[in-house]
Chains A and B, each alone.
Chain A
């Protein structure tokens, strides 16, 4: 069965510092996709970045990058130069086959000024 584990319930970071949010996953299927979503207090899930299991390079989207280590089954999100607006819940999710996402428990990130 698919499983996503996020071991950091909360993270506190100073503004402008980089931060790494951990995510490990478990699957026996060689084909899968990994997503990171941001959820502010408003509730909306905002897509940040995607990594496919066959992608050779780590995904990057602006200040977001995904440190994909396939052998270790990890897909950590790196946010460079953090901003106050980055404070939110962050969810790692995995998808296999037809469009069902399995989410982790999330990490609450707080950026301090």
Chain B
């Protein structure tokens, strides 16, 4: 049973470029959330997708956008990259029916470096 998988594992981009990160949720999970983790910090919530719609959004600018596909996989897009966007991006999934007292399952993350 595959867990949450993210690709790519590492990425180097230049300021001003655009990037797309991908996530496949754990089998049977239908809700996907994205978190940004700066070096030495705890993860910060970016947004959550369920039934192909953005359901919740954290305090991130519109440069951060996402998508969820019918197979529940998800993409995170970041436009006009800034140096401050360098971070580990974590994808997490959960089965909605399990309720919010069930743990989020996280992937290994994508480490984005903006130069």
A contact residues around B94 at 8 Å (CB): 99
Among residues of A, the one whose C-beta sits closest to the C-beta of B33 is: A99
Secondary structure call for the A interface? strand
Q: Among residues 62 to 115 in chain B, which have CB atoms less than 8 Å away from a CB atom of chain A?
A: 88, 90, 92, 94, 100-109, 111
* Shortest beta-carbon distance from B29 to chain A in Å: 11
How many residues in B have their beta carbons less than 8 Å from beta carbons of A?
27
Q: Among residues 20 to 60 in chain B, which have CB atoms less than 8 Å away from a CB atom of chain A?
A: 31, 33, 35, 41-45, 48, 55-56, 58
Secondary structure call for the B interface? strand
Measured between alpha carbons, how far is A101 from B101 in the docked complex, in Å?
11
Q: Do residues A99 and B48 form an inter-chain contact, with CB atoms below 8 A?
A: yes
How many residues in A have their beta carbons less than 8 Å from beta carbons of B?
25
Q: Do residues A99 and B100 form an inter-chain contact, with CB atoms below 8 A?
A: yes
Residues of A that sit less than 8 Å from B by CB: 4, 33, 35, 37, 42-47, 50, 52, 91, 93, 95, 97-106
